[in-house]
Chain A
Amino acid sequence: MDIIDYSPQVQERFERPVNAGRLLGRVVSGEAGDEASGTRVEFDFRLRGATVEQGAFRAYGCPHAIAAASWVAEQAHGRPLADTTWLDPLSLAALLEVPDHKLGVLLVVQDALESAASHARQTEE
């Protein structure tokens, strides 16, 4: 397996990921992927009303998966969890300099966020 070049942002988030771990207390969670396929991502979000007050992630996957999950957990702050339209995998790929053949990894991260959003919507109902 060859080591590909990772952007400085991916390297930074891989080495010192922001918001890694679980959240204590009452949270809304989402998950996607599986280890056998190479990527699994889980999110916990603590809400104030419908808005994300804090996000956390766990990720099994390549450095791009870890960096993307970290970025999403951080960027969700202050946004309504039920609305995930702000996350565009292609824009995220450009931001983190993720190569085309890794776009599937970002889709798993997006699915995990959608899963949490779906749970949030069910709670609202």
Chain B
Amino acid sequence: MKIKDAKKYVADKLGIAVSELTDAAVMSDVREDLKIGSVYSTMGSPKGIEAKFNIAKLLDIEINSLNRFKR
């Protein structure tokens, strides 16, 4: 997928505007609300593979490592 289409796909799935994808203020809240991992490793927040599972579900994509983890 070329970048323009990819940005729109992700923004639509996250329920935000394309321009907000690179807005750190907006994305901090989005990341926290959707449990997809954040830069700060806060207590109880999803990290690593846990965040990746949430991303795969949210974006409706297959992730190689998750498929292998499930096996």
- A and B bound? no
